[in-house]
Amino acid sequence: MKTQTSFLNALNFRRSVRVYNEMQNIDTEIVKSCLQQATLAPNSSNMQLWEFHHINSEDILEQLTTACLDQSAAKTAKEMVVIVVRKDLWKKRAQANLAHLKSSFGEKDVATYTKREKFAINYYSKLIPFVYADFLGVFGLLKYLISWFTGIFKPSYRQLRKSDMRIVAHKSAGLAAQTFMLSMAAEGYDTCPMEGADTLRIKKILNLPLSAEINMVISCGIRKPEGVYGERFRIPFEEVYKKW
């Protein structure tokens, strides 16, 4: 019950804060700890195709503020976090999962693996490469057409195009971002996920490769009363809740 109450307190405390108190600092180590908690967020196939860029350098904060179109949530922020999608690292992350699995199975011959262990190994050594590998979108389109043809006869996974896999990676990064913001709320710190941003400039500021993608820029600080724009509004639950 106490855990549930704590979660509800954090959930109700969290608001998108547009103006922070510039006289109040936040603890960088706490922000880092909240990002560490964000790595526990659920994500597709445990691929963890994300990076968390934690910024408290005044120079980089100033550059990011410009890239975030000078919105007040950026101007008054004490620190920022940029959630980056790294779908390009899928081979490296798949190998990391494979190494972890083999380590957890213990030192034994492959022939002695159980059926479940073999499935796990094949998942990362065969299925993941099939799903993520692509060449200029051509292979993804071919897989997509095959899955739709197969789907005529039986349930089939259809999100196999390059654009589909981008969505998968961004959904996972979004789950991590929400986990981070709730962790910050539990510490009494405020955040604001900012959509308005020049993501190309942000990639240049952070020296990210072309293949990386910005999922979200989150400003951090301690709110001023005027930083919360009115009472929270949500569409009536009965309108969005469908029970079957």
66: domain CATH number? 3.40.109.10
Tell me the per-residue pLDDT of 79-127, one tens digit each, with 9 for 90 and over. Answer: 999 999 999 999 999 999 999 999 999 988 888 999 999 999 999 999 9
Compare 230 and 3 and report the one with higher pLDDT. Answer: 230
User: What crossing angle do the helices spanning 162-186 and 2-13 adopt, rounded to 10°?
Assistant: 110
Q: Which of 148, 163, 178 is the last residue of a domain?
A: 163
Question: CA–CA distance from 29 to each of 36, 153, 181, 242 (Å)?
Answer: 10, 54, 15, 42
Q: Are 116 and 222 found together in one domain?
A: no
Q: Is the pLDDT of residue 4 over 80?
A: no
**pTM for the whole thing?**
0.93
Q: Could you give the percent of the chain with pLDDT greater than 70?
A: 98
Q: Are 12 and 105 found together in one domain?
A: no
Cα 107 to Cα 122: distance, rounded to the nearest angstrom: 18
Q: Are 11 and 61 found together in one domain?
A: yes
Number of domains in the chain: 2
Q: Are 156 and 214 found together in one domain?
A: no
The predicted pLDDT at position 183 comes to 98
Q: Which residues make beta-bridge pairs with 213?
A: 85
Q: Could you give the percent of the chain with pLDDT greater than 90?
A: 82
Q: Are 208 and 191 found together in one domain?
A: yes
Mean pLDDT, residues 147-159: 87
Mean pLDDT, residues 20-40: 97
Q: Which of 108, 136, 163 is the last residue of a domain?
A: 163
The predicted pLDDT at position 216 comes to 96
Q: Is the pLDDT of residue 3 over 70?
A: no
User: Mean pLDDT over all residues of the chain?
Assistant: 94
Range of the structural domain that residue 185 is part of: 2-43+50-88+170-240
Mean pLDDT, residues 32-47: 98
Q: Are 65 and 183 found together in one domain?
A: yes
Q: Which of 106, 130, 163 is the last residue of a domain?
A: 163
Cα 237 to Cα 106: distance, rounded to the nearest angstrom: 49
Q: Are 193 and 80 found together in one domain?
A: yes
Q: Are 71 and 139 found together in one domain?
A: no
Q: Are 83 and 32 found together in one domain?
A: yes
Q: Is the pLDDT of residue 5 over 80?
A: no
> Which of 14-23, 98-107, 135-144, 232-241 is least confident?
135-144
Tell me the per-residue pLDDT of 190-233, one tens digit each, with 9 for 90 and over. Answer: 999 999 999 999 999 999 999 999 999 999 999 999 999 999 99
Mean pLDDT, residues 50-77: 98
Cβ burial of 34 (10 Å; 0-12, 13-18, 19+) is: buried
Q: Are 30 and 106 found together in one domain?
A: no
The predicted pLDDT at position 230 comes to 92
The predicted pLDDT at position 116 comes to 95
The predicted pLDDT at position 165 comes to 93
Q: Are 192 and 126 found together in one domain?
A: no
Q: Assign 210 to helix, strand or coil.
A: coil
Q: Are 149 and 204 found together in one domain?
A: no
Q: Is the pLDDT of residue 177 over 90?
A: yes
Q: Which of 18, 40, 28 is closest to 178 using CA atoms? A: 40
